[in-house]
Amino acid sequence: MTFFENMQEAQKIFIELGKSFSIGFVPTMGALHAGHLSLVEKAKTENDKVVVSIFLNPTQFNNEEDLKKYPTHLEKDLGLLSEVGVDFVLLPSFENIYPENYGYRVHEDKNSKILCGKERPGHFDGVLTIVLKLLMISQAHRAYFGEKDYQQLKLIQGLCRAFFIPTEIIPCPIARDEKGLALSSRNQRLSPQGIESARKFAKLLAQSKPLNEIMQDLKNENIQVEYLQEEWHRRFGAVHVENVRLIDNVPI
Q: What is 185-251's CATH number, 3.40.640.10, 3.30.1300.10, 3.30.565.10, 3.40.50.720?
A: 3.30.1300.10
pLDDT at 136: 98
Q: Which residues are catalytic?
A: 36
List Cβ neighbours of 52 (8 Å cut-off, separation of 6 or more): 25, 26, 27, 28, 40, 81, 86, 88, 89, 90
Tens digits of residue pLDDT in 102-111: 999 999 999 9
* Mean pLDDT of the region 51-55: 98
Tens digits of residue pLDDT in 171-197: 999 999 999 999 999 999 999 999 999
* Mean pLDDT of the region 46-66: 97
**Summary mean pLDDT of the chain:** 98
pLDDT at 252: 93
Where are the chain's structural domains?
Answer: 2-172, 185-251
pLDDT category of residue 56 using cuts at 50, 70 and 90: very high
pLDDT category of residue 63 using cuts at 50, 70 and 90: very high
For domain 2-172, give the fold: Rossmann fold (3.40.50)
Tens digits of residue pLDDT in 138-177: 999 999 999 999 999 999 999 999 999 999 999 999 999 9
Q: How far apart are CA 206 and CA 11, in angstroms?
A: 42
Task: Count Cα atoms within 13 angstroms, Cβ side, for 123.
Answer: 21
* Mean pLDDT of the region 22-44: 98
Q: How far apart are CA 82 and CA 31, in angstroms?
A: 15
pLDDT at 145: 98
